Amino acid sequence: MAQSTSQKTYVVEGRQFRTQADYARASRDRELIDKLRQRVQDENPAGLRQLSQELHNGKYRFLTILGQDFTDEIDERLKKSTQSPGKRPKQKKTASGRSARKASGGRDAAVTPEGMPQELKTIVEQELRLREKRRRLLVLLCSVVGLVCLGYFGLYAYYDYRTRASYEHWSELRDSGAAHSQAAAPPVVHLDSQDREIPDVLDEYKLLLNKNRRLIGWITIDDTKIDYPVMQTVDNEYYLDHNLEQQYDKNGAIFMDKDCDVLAPSTNLILYGHHMQSGRMFGELDKYANEKFAREHPYIQFNTIYEYGTWQVMYVFRSKVYNEEEIVFKYYQFIDAASEQEFDSNMREMAEMSLYDTGVTARYGDQLLTLSTCDYKEENGRFVVVAKKVTAKE
């Protein structure tokens, strides 16, 4: 459940952090940075160069902006440690110089403007004009690049602010639930092509469903930024670059595969989300690559708009999006098991791919939840967490 933003700030290494969670991450980064600084106290260029390479290669995982600050610090120290006093450039004899010598009857040409031969003076003036033209073009190019970068970062900041504000508003609406006066109004429900009885929508999602009828649930994972509405539409591409307000947004939104059905329900409900560098969406899902984190966070809360649900993590693995003609297990095509044999076969495939054994298994008839996001360790890579439903309440 979202918490209201506190006005208190925390400072680490001159950087301000808004929440205790961000402060804790920054403190962890500072401890790692202090250890790394001890390695290069003597300003040895070789040591600085090795540390710089390690930082740029991602050997150390930082959780806050302090990591980038430290990387910049090491790069600057390396640059200073390798600088040497400049040498006076050696003068070269040029074609123009030979021409000047010939024009002066073999004698050295005068270096003052008054004594400079006309031919050499013309060449120098042309070269100066050419250099000035290049300088102006370079200044213009740098100005254009600077404006483009400024515009990009301004747009990024705007999108980031709009995204945060939108999700905070949705969280407030969810928390207000039935207490809001509009909660008594009939909610907009998903259109169902089949003649099925639609259960009542949970009170806390009625206002949200009135706001966007594509809402299908809400997912939360403790100690991560994952606390989002889940959308579903007939186009799996739409929420890759649209937010909850139907606006273009590169963050996209968390969404359920169009072929999944929460009413039937499907054997496996598959949720997709971007792996954002900011940690938004499913950017922190890969915390489950750490077995210790998985042991400490074995449960995922995913509620549909009709029913609460708690899910226990079962498999964690890396996969990829394969070509259609490749004959291989494709987790994203496992939505409904037609038989017990098919279900067991899929369980074996995922168990073999899992990074570690959680000790949790499933049997035919259990309902599964699959969370999928991008994984940049390989082209078209995916990081996947599979859980089974263990509790639900009306």
Supply the pLDDT for residue 175: 76
Quick check: 299 pLDDT over 60?
A: yes
> In angstroms, rounded to a whole number, what is the distance separating the alpha carbons of residues 252 and 280?
10
Quick check: 384 pLDDT over 90?
A: yes
**35 neighbors 29 (Cβ within 8 angstroms):** no
Q: How confident is the model at residue 283 (pLDDT cuts 50, 70, 90)?
A: very high
Distances (CA, A) of 80 to 36, 52, 76, 208, 226: 18, 13, 6, 56, 42
Residue of 40, 105, 44 whose CA lies nearest to 70: 40
214: how many CB neighbours lie within 10 A of its CB? 21
User: For 332, which DSSP code?
Assistant: G
Q: Which of 71-75, 280-284, 285-289, 390-394 has the lowest mean pLDDT?
A: 390-394
Q: Which of 42-51, 92-101, 264-273, 344-353 has the lowest mean pLDDT?
A: 92-101
Quick check: 85 pLDDT over 70?
A: no
Per the rule left: phi > 0, alpha: psi between -120 and 50, beta: everything else, 374 is beta
Q: Which amino acid is at 372?
A: S
Q: What is the pLDDT of residues 22-51, one digit of tens each?
A: 888 889 989 989 988 888 888 888 888 888
Q: Give the residue, 183 or 19, on which the prediction is more confident.
A: 19
Supply the pLDDT for residue 151: 79
SS3 category, 40: coil
Quick check: 153 pLDDT over 50?
A: yes
What DSSP string describes 160-201? Answer: HHHHHHHHHHHHHHHHHGGGSGGGGSPPP----SS--PPPPP
Looking at every residue in the chain, the average pLDDT score rounds to 83
SS3 category, 32: helix
| Residues 4-27, mean pLDDT to the nearest whole number | 78
Looking at CATH, the fold of the domain delimited by 166-391 is given as: Sortase; Chain: A; (2.40.260)
Q: What is the pLDDT of residues 334-368, one digit of tens each?
A: 999 999 999 999 999 999 999 999 999 999 999 99
Quote the percentage of the chain above a pLDDT of 90. Answer: 43
Quote the percentage of the chain above a pLDDT of 70. Answer: 81
Quick one: angle between helices 45-56 and 66-82, nearest 10? Answer: 150
> In angstroms, rounded to a whole number, what is the distance separating the alpha carbons of residues 274 and 228?
13
Residue range(s) in the chain whose domain bears CATH number 2.40.260.10: 166-391
Q: Give the residue, 109 or 20, on which the prediction is more confident.
A: 20
Supply the pLDDT for residue 124: 80
Residue of 299, 316, 306 whose CA lies nearest to 350: 316
Supply the pLDDT for residue 222: 96
Supply the pLDDT for residue 91: 46
Q: What is the pLDDT of residues 188-244, one digit of tens each?
A: 555 555 666 788 999 999 999 988 999 999 999 999 999 999 999 999 999 999 999
Supply the pLDDT for residue 178: 45
Quick check: 103 pLDDT over 80?
A: no
Supply the pLDDT for residue 359: 95
